[in-house]
Structure 1
C-alpha cells in the first residue's frame, strides 16, 4: 500500500487555469483520510507554489526548485542544495554569450534582468498550454499573472554576488526556438560535471546542482518518514519529473505528458485538464497498486 504521494504541479496537479480542481482536492483528502501523506514536487519556488495550494485548502510538505529546497508542511526548510558561485558565474557568462534569456532562483527569491523578456518568454509557455490564444492574448494573460508572482529585477546579475549569504538554487532558461538553441547549450553544461539539466516545457531548460533533483528529494523525504520506495507514488508530466518517476513503486504519467515520461512511468492517467492526478490517486488506493 502507498504511504506517500508526490505530485508535480504545472501540467499535472494544476489545470489550465493554474488551479487545483475539486476532483483533485477530494482525491487528496481521500488519500489523507487513509493516512497517506500528500506532497508536491515542483520546479516553482515556495512562494509561487503556495497560492493554488492555499486556495484549495491543502497544507503539505514541498519539494521546490526541482529538489534544491525541501520544506515541511509548516514551511520550515529541511535542506537546500545550491549551485556554487563559481559555476553560477560560468552559467551567466555562457547564457549571455548566446543571448538566452534566463532567471536565477536564489534563497532570496527569483532574479531577472528584464521584465519585458520575462513576459515574452512566459507568454510562449502560456500559448503552449492554451493554443487557442492569440499572441496578444497570451502576452496579456501572462503579464496579468506574473504581476502577482514575486520577483526581483536587477540591472546586472553580477550584483547578486555581493549579497551576503545568498545561495543560487536554480537557473531557468527560455528560448522560442527550443531544442535547436537550448540543445547545444545543454551539452556544454553537461560537461560542467556538478550540474544537471532538465526541462518543464518545450522552450526551456532548468539547471540545478546534480544533487538537486526531484527523485533524490523524494527518496530523502521517504527515508526520513521510514517509508520504503515501494510505498511511494509519484505523478508527473515532464522531463524534470523523470527522476522521481523512476524510483517510485507506483508512478503515473499524465495524459498530456511527454513521451519519455510516459515510457518511464508504470501507469498512465488522464490529462491535467481532466483531473488526472485525482483519478490516479483514487485508482492507486482502490486497486491497492
Structure 2
C-alpha cells in the first residue's frame, strides 16, 4: 500500500488559496488506484477539514505540523503543549510586541493588540528599507491571516487564558526580530520551532513534526514510511522528506528542501502536484511493475 502525503500552502493550494482542477483530478485518480492520499499541513485540523469539504475530498489529515492526526472519520492523535513553557512563550511575545496566533482544538485566536503590532512593525520595516515589498509581504502571509476558524479577541492574551494549546504561529515582517524569536524559543526545553514561510515561525511540543506523524499514519495502514511519497515546499515539510522513500519538492520550494528532495516538480502556480503525479509517481510505479514482471 502506497501513502502519498501532500502539503497544503505553497503546494496543493494555489497563490489565491484554491485548488486547481488538474490537482484535484490527480488526487482522485490516485485514490481510485488505491493510493492513500493524505494531507500534511501546518493548518489546524478544522481548517484542513473545511478545505477538504469545500473540494469534496476525503483524505486522512496530518494537521498542526503533526500535533493532530485524523484518519477514517476520527481523530486518532492530538498533542497539546506543556503549560510549563506556554507561560514563558506568551510572556516573551507580549513583551516583544509580537503578532501571534494561538491554535486550539476548535479555533485560532489572535489579539487585536497583536494586529496593531504587526501593522506597526511593517510600517517600521518599510521606513528602514524603501525596497521592502509591502504588498508581497501581505500576499506571503495570506494563508495565515485568512484561515478558517481565526477569531480576534480584545486585549492582550495572557498565559493563563487557555489550557489546551496545540501550537503558536508567529508572523513578523522583520527578519532580524524573527531570528531573535527563534533563538529564544529554541532555548526552551520541551518545544520545537519550525517555519512554513519566510515571515513566520511555528512553535509546537518537542516530538511533534510531520515526519513523526507520517510514521504514525504508515503504521496505522500497516505499511512502512519508506514506501511513502511526500510533496511539499517548505521547512516544516523537511521531517517528512527525511523519513519518506521519495520526496518531491515544489518548484517554489525553499532551497533547503530542494537539496534533500528526490525530484523537483513545477510550482503551485503551475499545478506542480498534478505534474508530480504524472511524471514521477505514476512513471515510477510503471517502472516498478515492469521490473517485477520481468523477474
Give the TM interval when normalised to the shorter protein: 0.7 to 0.9
User: C-alpha separation between the residues in 1 aligned to 2:117 and 2:188?
Assistant: 30
Matched, 1:170 2:167: yes
Secondary structure in structure 2 of the residue aligned to 1:235: strand
Deviation per residue, 1:64-104 (Å, 9 max, x gap): 11111111242x21111111112111101111222211111
In the alignment, which residue of structure 2 is the partner of 1:67? 66
2:293 maps to: none
What TM-score, normalized to structure 2? 0.84
Asked whether the equivalents of residues 211 and 241 of structure 2 are also in contact (C-alpha less than 8 Å), the reply is yes
Q: Tell me the residue number matched to 2:53.
A: 54
- C-alpha distance after superposition, 1:12-62 (max 9, x if no partner): 001112111111111111211111111101111122223332232211111
Query: What is the TM-score normalised by the length of structure 1?
Result: 0.85
In the alignment of these two chains, the number of paired residues is: 271
- TM-fit CA distance, 1:148: 5.7
Greater displacement, 101-110 / 230-239: 101-110
Judge conservation of contact 1:62–1:73 (CA < 8 Å) in 2.
Answer: no
Q: CA deviation at 1:241?
A: 0.6
- Give the unaligned 5+ runs of structure 1: 125-132
> 1:83 and 2:90 equivalent?
no
Q: Give 3-state SS (helix, strand or coil) of 2:181's partner.
A: helix
Measure how far apart 1:172 and its partner are: 0.7
Shift in alpha-carbon separation, 1:201–1:41, aligned structure 2, 3 A: same
Matched, 1:193 2:189: yes
Q: Distance in 1 between matches of 2:229 and 2:215?
A: 11
Q: Which residue of 1 aligns with 2:200?
A: 204
Kept in 2, the 8 Å contact 1:48–1:150? The answer is no
Q: CA RMSD in A?
A: 2.7
Query: RCO greater where, 1 or 2, for CA within 8 Å and sep 6 or more?
Result: 1
Q: Distance in 2 between matches of 1:79 and 1:201?
A: 25
The match for 1:127 is none
Moved over 6 A (4+): none
3-state SS of the aligned residue for 1:83?
Answer: coil
Q: Where in structure 2 are there 5+ consecutive unaligned residues?
A: 123-132, 289-295
Give the 3 Å change call, closer, same or farther, for CA 182–116 of structure 1 in structure 2.
closer
Q: 1:173 to 1:234 in 2, by over 3 A?
A: same
